[in-house]
């Protein structure tokens, strides 16, 4: 029997970074913490490697690299290489036994979601940080489409920047420590992010929640002016800024599209008080579990009521500007000077 | 046998003490009316220790904290200055490092101390006093002494560090944005923050809403302060109300009626003051919304932040904003430390002392449990393990009659060496650059502007203008006399006064600085506060119509 390469999230935890990539390992860890995440499974790095070996794509890439090794140093050539390698990957068919297994997991996922037909997100899950955006496909429907998108995510590991990075680090070109997450899409009423630190000034006494109607991508991309709620961790006191939200991202037949927010929703807060409390409660718990400020993505489902409609799709350590040492020292100096008069 | 001094080694002794310092100031905020001997012993010993500890831990360049003496129930204090330039230089180098934790992780620092103290309180409360052995009771008392000592270390270290940041912020606002701490804009910048004391107020307000919903409002309003509890206990709804109210008291009622004394019950023992607050909220009527009121202040602050930041040159904004955040924490700290430190520790002192007091009274060492407040720890220790073997009543009697004498004659505001006057003494305080002297004790001196034809001149604690009936309140016991729309006139205010701020239209205090209680709470409730008028409580009579113009820092008596 061949090596296991598909995992339900509940089988994973943060020890599985190298096996399934950070995103999947985190989703597993989040499941273990009792956070509600959309049901789904992970495609491990072994799955990628098996695909590359069985289809011969790995050999084709190696061959291409051997033939072009000298020229690959130029950026222009790297752009071309990206195109060629992605094509090599994406033009392969998934081996039949792998397809079978993916179908089996997908069908069970439908059962778990208690639905005949479900839409899933197929997301890349890198094990080491690789520069360049790897693809994420939303609103994928049907088992054939899922198989196709998994291959496309693998292909997306070969962006120009990622190729340049491999050359710089002397990494084998066909290697891509990349996992894939396949998870049920939540019918998003609203979605957004929560940070357990004010990133601009590194104030860890506050939590900031940002959200918009529809899918969370509009908030993550920073294209719109989301609602913002700044919550004081100790007192629970909230500062609300409700902005006019004219655009949102919604599903269309396959994939997503930008749509207008209905007039009556534009100036309404997209998270009610109870939902906000629940988001903050979970975020605080996760932060104290990991002992470091978190950057998390949440989704509120159309159906169901709080807290059952709250799903989490991401939790990772927050990047924030630590109070700059120089600034601290400057302030200390100003305070010292104050005593001289 | 010789009866000890109340605070052995720290009783005021003019001959020796004037040689050390020419001016000793009465701590009017905390030691008027005069303290009981036990409370005085704790305060003089440990507040003194804490102030010196805080100054030393931070290595404040110009001061080494304060020295304290006890005189007839009053606390007298004087600054200890760094005298040589060489030592100042050395301390500056240390200070630059020592202040960093405040800048880098203020919340972690303060939060850690709060947790440490709450842990200590839980340990102290874990002892079942009536059932405890004499050994455990005495141990509990010893632990309380060390808790009080630790509390003052944290208290003064935090206060010195916090207020240093605040003063720098004031200076920078003046230098970079052209606004000083008497301007309304400055006050908007540092208000609109939640804190533990407000959360307690909010609970009281919620209980007032509940009383109205459950049809208990009329009953509460018609009762005198002492009857509220009893009347409520008579009905089923009222019983349920009191049960939840007492659960709330057990959580947040570990505070004293008078902030700096232990001879009055805590809210846990006697919830009357808290019930009076509920009654006052009921009297404000259903239209009053505490949350809405607070929200307005927060919005004003955000607007002020934008205006002020816009005035700061772009390249300076980074550190300025961080300094602003730090300064804004000063107000929160000022209120919260009272709750977590002073009030709670004092409640623990009362609890532990009464535990022993009851045992002593049972065994005949003293007549009544409360008599223990007339003993000092060494005397308590004498009878601690075998109270049946000792008769301490002769000490209690003597101290009690002394204490009664102290109540009759007020302590003088300062002891000054011959040839030294109050103005010179104030000058020393200001030049010391001691953050506590500047922001709590002295404040800014009022400017008398005759062209305004005002009756009292003070400084702005919280901006605004209001007119109303003056109500002169000299102590916590008189707080229930305050009516909706009054202008409060007092020597100074403390945290147990906070709830009445939602009823009054303005405040006039004899003494105060921008980080004293009246100013902070006035700002949070958006009412004008005029401070440092010195003679408010003597010149104004209850019932007179007065006009407070805090923007100008003046008071007009309208019907003389």
Q: Which residue has the tokens 């404000």?
A: B284
Residue with tokens 């930008």: A258
- B164 belongs to a structural domain: no
Distance from CA of B9 to the nearest CA of A (A): 32
The DSSP H or E segment spanning A249 is: strand A247-251
Instruction: Say how far apart CA B189 and CA B305 lie, in whole Å.
Output: 6
- Look at residue A134 and tell me whether its pLDDT is greater than 70: no
Copy the structure tokens of residue A52: 């590359």
pLDDT at position B111: 92
Give the pLDDT confidence score for residue B473 in this predicted structure.
92
For the stretch B520-544, pLDDT in tens is 888 878 899 999 888 899 999 999 9
Q: In terms of Cα–Cα distance, which of A121, A111, A256 is closest to A182?
A: A121
Residue B11 lies in a domain: yes
**A336/B111 touch (CB, cutoff 8 Å), yes or no:** no
User: Nearest CB to B325: which of A203, A232, A339?
Assistant: A203
A234, A330, A339 ranked by CB distance to B319: nearest: A330
C-alpha span between B426 and B421 (Å, rounded) = 9
Which of the residues A204, A322, A338 would you substitute to probe the B interface, choosing the one with the greatest number of B C-beta atoms within 10 Å? A338
**What is the torsion angle, in degrees rounded to the nearest 10, for the CA atoms of residue B142, residue B147, residue B152 and residue B157?**
130
* All domains in chain A, ordered by first residue: 6-184 (3.30.1490.20), 188-317 (3.30.470.20)
B383 falls within a domain: no
- Whether B293 has its CB under 8 Å from any CB of chain A: the answer is no
Q: Binning pLDDT at 50, 70 and 90, where does residue A325 land? A: low
CB contact under 8 A, A323 and B60: no
pLDDT of residue B177: 84
Do residue B432 and residue B474 come from a single domain?
Answer: no
Cβ of residue A330 closer than 8 Å to a chain B Cβ? yes
- Report CA-CA distances (Å) from B527 to B468, B507, B523: 12, 8, 6
What is the rounded CA–CA span in Å between residue B244 and residue B238? 10
Both structure tokens of A123:
């997301």
Return d(Cα A53, Cα B106) in angstroms, integer.
55
Backbone angles phi, psi at A240, to 5 degrees: -100, 135
Tell me which chain B residue has its CA closest to the CA of residue A329.
B100
B193 close contact with A: CB closer than 8 A: yes
CA distance B188 to B424: 34
Same domain membership, residue B404 and residue B488: no
Query: Do B20 and B90 share a structural domain?
Result: yes
**A336 and B CB contact within 8 Å:** yes
The residue from B442, B458, B475 where one domain ends is B442
**Residue A324 C-alpha, separation from nearest chain B C-alpha, in angstroms:** 9
Instruction: Please tell me the predicted confidence (pLDDT) of residue B554.
Output: 93
Q: Are residues B489 and B433 in the same domain?
A: no
A235/B199 touch (CB, cutoff 8 Å), yes or no? yes
Report the pLDDT value the prediction gives residue A237, as an integer from 0 to 100: 83
Instruction: Assess B322–A contact: CB distance below 8 Å, yes or no.
Output: yes
Residue of B nearest to A335 (CA): B168
Determine, for residues B318 and A324 on separate chains, whether the beta-carbon distance falls below 8 Å. Answer: yes
Q: Smallest CA–CA separation between A327 and chain B, in Å?
A: 6
| Inside any domain, residue B145 | no
CA closest to A241 among chain B residues? B299
Is A69 within 8 Å of chain B by CB? no
What is the dihedral sign for C-alpha A154, A155, A161, A163? positive
CB pairs under 8 A between A and B: 79
For position A150, what pLDDT does the model report? 94
Q: What is the pLDDT of residues B407-442, one digit of tens each?
A: 999 898 889 999 988 778 878 887 888 888 877 766
Q: E strands within B510-557? A: 529-531, 545-549, 554-557
Which of the listed residues B377, B411, B442 is the one where a domain comes to its end? B442
Say yes or no: B472 and B405 in one domain.
no
The per-residue pLDDT for A322 is 61
Tell me the C-alpha distance between A103 and A182, whole Å. 12
DSSP helix/strand/coil, A228: strand
Asked whether the beta carbons of A214 and A191 are under 8 A apart, the reply is yes
What span, in angstroms and rounded, lies between the C-alpha atoms of B263 and B350?
7
CA angle B161, B513, B527 (to 5 degrees): 115
Which residues touch A86 (CB under 8 Å, ≥6 apart)?
Answer: A155, A156, A158
Question: Residues B552, B458: one domain?
Answer: yes
The CA distance from B545 to B558, in Å, is 5
Which chain A residues are Cβ-neighbours of B193 within 8 angstroms? Answer: 232, 235, 237
Can you give the pLDDT at residue B156?
A: 97
Tokens, residue B58: 């931070």
Q: How far is CA B256 from CA B242, B248, B348, B375, in A?
A: 20, 15, 10, 20
- B433–A341 CB contact, under 8 Å: yes
Among A335, A337, A338, A340, the residue to mutate for chain B (most B Cβ within 10 A): A335
Cα-flanking dihedrals φ and ψ of residue B426, to 5°? -60, -40
In a domain, B36, yes or no: yes
In a domain, B358, yes or no: no
The 3 state secondary structure assigned to B149-186 is HHHHHHHHHHHHHHHHHHHHHHHHHHHHHCCCCCCHHH
- Could you tell me if B452 and B551 lie in one domain? yes
pLDDT band at A185 (very low <50, low <70, confident <90, very high): confident
What CATH number should be reported for the domain holding residue B504?
3.50.30.10
Q: Do B95 and A339 touch (CB under 8 A)?
A: yes
Q: Which one of B410, B442, B474 terminates a domain?
A: B442
Non-local CB neighbours of B543 within 8 Å, separated by 6+ positions: B469, B470
What is the domain extent for residue B33?
Answer: 1-98+394-442
Q: Do A239 and B164 make contact, defined as CB atoms within 8 angstroms? A: no
In a shared domain, residues B413 and B516: no
| Residues A152, A41, A276: CA angle, nearest 5 degrees | 105
Closest Cα in chain B, distance from residue A202 (Å) = 10
The answer, for A340 touching chain B at a CB cutoff of 8 Å, is yes
Q: Do A331 and B319 touch (CB under 8 A)?
A: yes
Q: Which residues of B touch A335 (CB under 8 A)?
A: 95-96, 99, 164-165, 168
Residue B499's pLDDT is what? 79
Same domain, B457 and B527: yes
Which chain A residue's Cα is nearest to B294? A237
Q: Does A74 touch chain B (CB under 8 A)?
A: no
Whether B238 is in a domain gets the answer no
The residue of chain B nearest to residue A333, with distances taken between CA atoms, is B96
Per-residue tokens: B272:
């009357």
> Mean pLDDT over all residues of chain A?
86
**Where residue A71 falls among pLDDT bands split at 50, 70, 90?**
confident
Same domain? B419 vs B497:
no
Please give the pLDDT value at position A305.
84
Please give, rounded to a whole number of angstroms, the shortest distance from the CA of B285 to a CA of chain A: 24
The pLDDT, as a whole number, for residue A229 is 93
Q: From edge to edge, which strands make up the β-sheet containing B554-557? A: B456-457, B554-557, B545-549, B465-472, B487-490, B506-509, B529-531, B459-462
- Interior CA angle at B68 toward B63 and B73, to 5°? 155
Mean pLDDT score, A286-308 = 87
Output Rg (C-alpha) for chain A, integer angstroms: 22
Q: Is A205 on the interface with B (CB under 8 A)?
A: yes
Tell me if B84 is assigned to some domain.
Answer: yes
Per-residue confidence (pLDDT) for residue A293, from 0 to 100: 87
Helix axes A57-68, A75-90, angle to 10 degrees: 160
In a shared domain, residues B456 and B548: yes
- For A143-155, write each residue's pLDDT tens digit: 999 999 999 999 8
Residues of chain B with pLDDT under 70: 1-2, 181-182, 441-443
Query: Considering CB atoms only, which of A201, A232, A335 is closest to B321?
Result: A201
Do B546 and B450 share a structural domain? yes
Name the CA dihedral angle for B402, B406, B407, B412, rounded to a multiple of 10 degrees.
Answer: 180
Both tokens assigned to B216: 């208990």
Q: Give the residue with greater pLDDT, A210 vs A157.
A: A210
Q: What is the 3-state secondary structure (H, E, C) of B195-243?
A: CHHHHHHHHHHHHHHHHHHCCCHHHHHHCCHHHHHHHHCCCHHHHHHHH
* ipTM of the complex, rounded to two decimals: 0.85
Number of compact structural domains in chain B: 2
User: Residue range A14-26: average pLDDT?
Assistant: 86
């Amino acid at each position: 029997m061949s090596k296991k390469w598909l995992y339900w999230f509940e089988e994973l935890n943060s020890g599985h970074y190298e096996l399934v990539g950070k995103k999947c390992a985190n989703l597993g860890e989040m499941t273990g913490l009792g956070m509600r995440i959309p049901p789904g499974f992970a495609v491990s790095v072994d799955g990628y490697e098996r695909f590359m070996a069985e289809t011969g794509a790995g050999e084709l890439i190696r061959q291409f690299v051997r033939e072009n090794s000298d020229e690959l140093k130029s950026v222009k050539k790297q752009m071309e290489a990206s195109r060629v390698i992605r094509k090599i990957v994406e033009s392969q068919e998934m081996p039949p036994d792998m397809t079978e297994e993916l179908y089996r997991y997908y069908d069970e996922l439908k059962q778990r979601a208690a639905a005949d037909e479900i839409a899933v997100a197929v997301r890349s899950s890198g094990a080491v940080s690789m520069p360049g955006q790897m693809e994420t496909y939303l609103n994928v429907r049907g088992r054939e489409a899922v198989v196709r998108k998994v291959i496309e995510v693998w292909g997306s590991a070969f962006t120009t920047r990622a190729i340049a990075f491999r050359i710089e680090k002397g990494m084998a070109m066909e290697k891509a420590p990349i996992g894939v997450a396949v998870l049920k899409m939540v019918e998003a009423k609203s979605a957004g992010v929560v940070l357990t630190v004010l990133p601009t000034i590194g104030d860890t006494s506050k939590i900031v929640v940002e959200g918009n109607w529809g899918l969370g991508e509009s908030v993550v991309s920073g294209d719109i002016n989301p609602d913002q709620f700044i919550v004081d961790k100790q007192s629970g006191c909230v500062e609300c800024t409700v902005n006019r939200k004219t655009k949102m991202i919604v599903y269309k037949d396959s994939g997503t599209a930008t749509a207008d927010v209905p007039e009556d929703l534009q100036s309404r807060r997209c998270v009610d008080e109870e939902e906000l409390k629940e988001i903050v409660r979970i975020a605080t718990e996760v932060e104290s579990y990991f002992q470091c400020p978190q950057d998390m993505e949440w989704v509120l489902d159309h159906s169901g009521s709080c807290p059952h409609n709250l799903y989490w799709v991401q939790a990772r350590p927050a990047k924030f500007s630590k109070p700059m040492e120089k600034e601290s020292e400057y302030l200390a100096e100003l305070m010292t000077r104050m005593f001289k008069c | 046998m010789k009866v000890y001094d109340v605070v052995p080694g720290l009783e005021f002794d003019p001959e020796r003490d004037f040689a050390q310092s020419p001016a000793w100031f009465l701590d009017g905020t905390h030691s008027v009316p005069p303290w009981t001997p036990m409370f005085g012993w704790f305060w003089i010993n440990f507040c003194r220790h804490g102030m010196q500890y805080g100054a030393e831990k931070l290595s404040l360049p110009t001061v080494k904290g304060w020295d304290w003496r006890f005189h007839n129930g009053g606390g007298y204090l004087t600054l200890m200055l760094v005298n040589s330039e060489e030592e100042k230089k050395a301390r500056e180098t240390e200070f630059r490092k020592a202040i960093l934790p405040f800048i880098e992780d203020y919340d972690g620092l303060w939060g850690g101390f709060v947790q440490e103290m709450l842990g200590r309180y839980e340990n102290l409360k874990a002892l079942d006093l009536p059932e405890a052995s004499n050994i455990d009771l005495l141990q509990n008392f010893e632990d309380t002494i060390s808790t009080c000592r630790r509390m003052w270390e944290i208290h003064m270290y935090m206060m010195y560090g916090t207020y240093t940041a605040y003063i720098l912020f004031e200076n920078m606002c003046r230098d970079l944005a052209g606004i000083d701490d008497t301007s309304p804009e400055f006050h908007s910048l540092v208000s609109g923050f939640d804190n533990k004391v407000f959360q307690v107020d909010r609970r009281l307000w919620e209980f007032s809403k509940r009383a109205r919903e459950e049809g208990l409002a009329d009953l509460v309003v018609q009762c005198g302060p002492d009857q509220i509890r009893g009347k409520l206990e008579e009905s089923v709804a009222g019983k349920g109300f009191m049960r939840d109210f007492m659960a709330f008291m057990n959580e947040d009622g570990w505070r004293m009626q008078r902030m700096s004394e232990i001879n009055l019950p805590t809210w846990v023992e006697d919830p009357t003051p808290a019930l009076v607050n509920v009654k006052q909220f009921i009297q404000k009527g259903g239209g009053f919304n505490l949350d809405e009121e607070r929200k307005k202040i927060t919005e004003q602050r955000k607007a002020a932040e934008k205006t002020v930041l816009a005035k700061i040159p772009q390249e300076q904004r980074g550190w300025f904003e961080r300094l602003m955040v730090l300064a804004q924490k000063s107000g929160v700290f000022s209120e919260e430390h009272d709750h977590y430190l002073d009030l709670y520790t004092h409640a623990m002192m009362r609890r532990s002392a009464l535990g022993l007091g009851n045992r002593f009274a049972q065994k005949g060492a003293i007549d009544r449990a409360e008599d223990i407040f007339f003993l000092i720890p060494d005397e308590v220790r004498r009878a601690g393990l075998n109270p049946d073997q000792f008769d301490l009543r002769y000490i209690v009697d003597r101290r009690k009659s002394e204490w009664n004498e102290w109540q009759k004659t007020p302590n003088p505001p300062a002891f000054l060496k011959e040839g030294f006057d109050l103005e010179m003494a104030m000058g020393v305080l200001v030049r010391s650059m001691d953050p506590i002297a500047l922001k709590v004790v002295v404040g800014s001196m009022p400017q008398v502007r005759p062209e305004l034809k005002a009756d009292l001149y003070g400084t702005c604690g919280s901006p605004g203008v209001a007119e109303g009936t003056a109500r002169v309140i000299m102590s916590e016991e008189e707080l229930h006399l305050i009516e909706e729309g009054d202008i409060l006139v007092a020597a100074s205010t403390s945290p147990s006064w906070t709830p009445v701020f939602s009823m009054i239209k303005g405040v006039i205090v004899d003494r105060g600085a921008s980080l004293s209680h009246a100013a902070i709470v006035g700002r949070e409730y958006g009412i004008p506060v005029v401070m440092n008028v010195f003679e408010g409580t003597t010149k104004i009579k209850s019932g007179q119509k007065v006009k407070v113009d805090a923007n100008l820092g003046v008071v007009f008596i309208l019907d003389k």
